A and B are shown apart, each in its own frame.
Chain A
Amino acid sequence: MEVTMDPLFLAWSYFRRRKFQQCSDICSKILADSPYDQAAWSLKTRALTEMVYIDEVEVDQEGIAEMMLDESSIAQVARPGTSLRLPGTSQGGGPTPAVRPMTQSGRPITGFVRPSTQSGRPGTMEQAIKTPRTASTARPVTSASGRFVRLGTASMLTNPDGPFINLSRLNLAKYSQKPNLSKTLFEYIFHHENDVKNMTLQDVVQFSSNIIFCVQALDLAAQATEHAQFKDWWWKVQLGKCYYRLGLYREAEKQFRSALNHQEVVDTYLYLAKVYQRMDQPITALNLFKQGLDHFPGEVTLLTGIARIHEEMNNITSATEYYKDVLKQDNTHVEAIACIGSNHFYTDQPEIALRFYRRLLQMGVYNCQLYNNLGLCCFYAQQYDMTLSSFERALVLAASDEEQADVWYNIGHVAVGIGDLTLAYQCFKLALAFHNDHAEAYNNLAVLELRKGRVEQSKAFLQTAASLAPHMYEPHFNLSTLSEKIGDLQSSYTAAQKSEDAFPEHVDTQQLLKQLQQHFASL
């Protein structure tokens, strides 16, 4: 006769082994038998939370609504070096677009993407719609709730008989008096539940009211912990998180500050810095990080935070310094290695970049991006034997069409480098076949077309590239040169002006403009 394990113990075991679905199923069974089993209830809540848990420090999605309808900014035009929104105002000698490609928000591309990278503010609504948020999604979320809505759908669908906890029926005051239940309940509401209610309505207002609901839950819980005379830092941090999601940054700041007074915790520093970054006060955030480092010397997350801010302010040299500090503490920090590596690549040291990327490979990072970077570094460091095999692997590992397109685009560069223009042509064509909006590939294809003497085709490609990526100077400049050659001075001039906007220091553009002005003056 088989001895069965105690179901609750089994559920716990599943939870510890991160098999949340099984854990939740067992808890459901226990709850069906005895609906008032608090242990099972709490465990199921935790399992459901863990399924959709995302590190709140990392999540920083700025939707169009937040970007365009911003009320917390003080000045329209900030002084240089004090704002994250004017990427061009660096003093640290950032790389020019002539050597390092730019993202659409006008920053040099980084070696690492997080949910919040590329959060530079686009100037116009049109640009806002075009700027990609993540590596793969081409659109920004319409509001901060957008992502959560989509995530909530799945968890909703897995429960055919409705949500696990019906929040509107819950007597929050009662739960808030039980500290061992209230914390799990809060996390459930915060991470799991806010999506589910939202998904039927898909409405920002609903989302807000939903979060207010969340804040109410929190308020009640905070009142319940009043017997500690508001001395529980954990609840204050949670309150701050809620305010942050609601966009009430000043209130969030107050909560985090007060939580820090009770207990110094690294996480709280990170949340507070996030608030300052959202309020576009990078200097304050930097000071805060340094203050945090006084309490937690050598803390990697704080150092990374400093490096990220420097990087976002286009101050690549000091960002690299801080990333090196990070590596002194934690020599397997993927973000730091990737950022230093890409920085070396774009400062003409592909051999050193290669060492950093090889280190990542040794550490077990195994994906399309890494092999693509290895391939590029190998080629430019003249290790030709490894180049093509790296790219082959990158193609095999590519998870999406966009990645595939980027790899083919880079192979096209290798082909240009060895002078095989037919292969290059085919590569760029393939890049376009996989990703129809690949502006760089259009531009390079145009250059190749022009070499073959097909002026009209080349012009069409350049115009496409220019409309797809107005932030790049190359298509504008090429179009300007081409138009000048065929005698269309007016369009040459307008294109040259656009090129100058995208890259003011570009010498060839300046010369072209001067030449055109002479032409016009002599008319």
Chain B
Amino acid sequence: MPEVKSIFREVLPKQGQLSMEDVPTLVLCKPKLLPLKSVTLEKLEKMQMEAQEAVKQQELASKEPSQ
């Protein structure tokens, strides 16, 4: 607010040079909200997991008699 007079006055050096340097700072990657999964996607992933499990089971079963 320009009309309100601040009690602090800015200090500008009268002598010497005033130099400002804009130093580039490193940036962090931003926090990541995790997207919720749709029902279909959850079902697909569950079915995929089950399929993988079933394959593993069968592979184990087929290995055992040969040993």
Contacts and interface: CB of A to CB of B under 8 A. Distances in A.
A55 interface: yes
A398 to B, nearest CB: 10
Interface stretch (A6-14, A219-227, A264-272, A442-450): A442-450
Contact of B44 (A54, A368, A370, A508): A54
Contacts of A54: 40, 43-44, 47
Interface string B35-58: 111101101110110111011011
Given A112-B37, A153-B55, 13 more contacts: A58-B41, A59-B44, A113-B38, A147-B44, A157-B55, A335-B36, A370-B36, A407-B34, A443-B29, A474-B28, A477-B26, A481-B26, A508-B24
26 contacts: A54-B40, A54-B43, A58-B38, A109-B35, A112-B37, A114-B40, A114-B41, A115-B41, A135-B35, A135-B45, A151-B44, A151-B48, A151-B51, A153-B51, A154-B47, A154-B51, A157-B55, A158-B54, A365-B36, A367-B37, A413-B28, A439-B29, A443-B28, A447-B27, A478-B26, A481-B25
Contact of A111 (B30, B35, B51, B57): B35
Contacts of B64: none
A360 B35 CA distance: 13
Contact of A134 (B26, B41, B58): B41
A409 B32 contact: yes
Nearest to B40: A58
A115 B26 contact: no
Contacts of B54: 153-154, 157-158
A100 B30 CA distance: 7
Interface string A396-410: 000000010011011
Contacts of B37: 112-113, 135, 367, 369
Given A52-B47, A443-B28, A406 B34 contact: yes
Q: How large is the interface on A (under 10, 10 to 19, 20 to 34, 35 or more residues)?
A: 35 or more
Contacts of B45: 134-136
A32 B35 CA distance: 48
Interface string A136-175: 1000000000010011111001100000000000000000
A150 B36 contact: no
A338 interface: yes
Contacts of B25: 481
B10 interface: no
Contacts of B36: 111-113, 334-335, 338, 360, 365, 367, 369-370
B7 to A, nearest CB: 29
Contacts of A372: 33-34
A474 B27 contact: yes
B31 interface: yes
Contact of B32 (A109, A114, A153): A109
A101 interface: yes
Contacts of B3: none
A342 interface: yes
Interface string A374-410: 0010001000000000000000000000010011011
Given A54-B40, A154-B51, A110 B29 contact: no
Contacts of B30: 99-101
B34 A368 contact: yes
A151 B37 CA distance: 19
Given A154-B54, A481-B24, A511-B22, A376 B40 contact: no
A316 interface: no
Contacts of A443: 28-29
Given A113-B35, A406-B34, A450 B26 contact: yes
A240 B36 CA distance: 30
A440 B28 CA distance: 8
A416 B28 CA distance: 10
B31 to A, nearest CB: 4
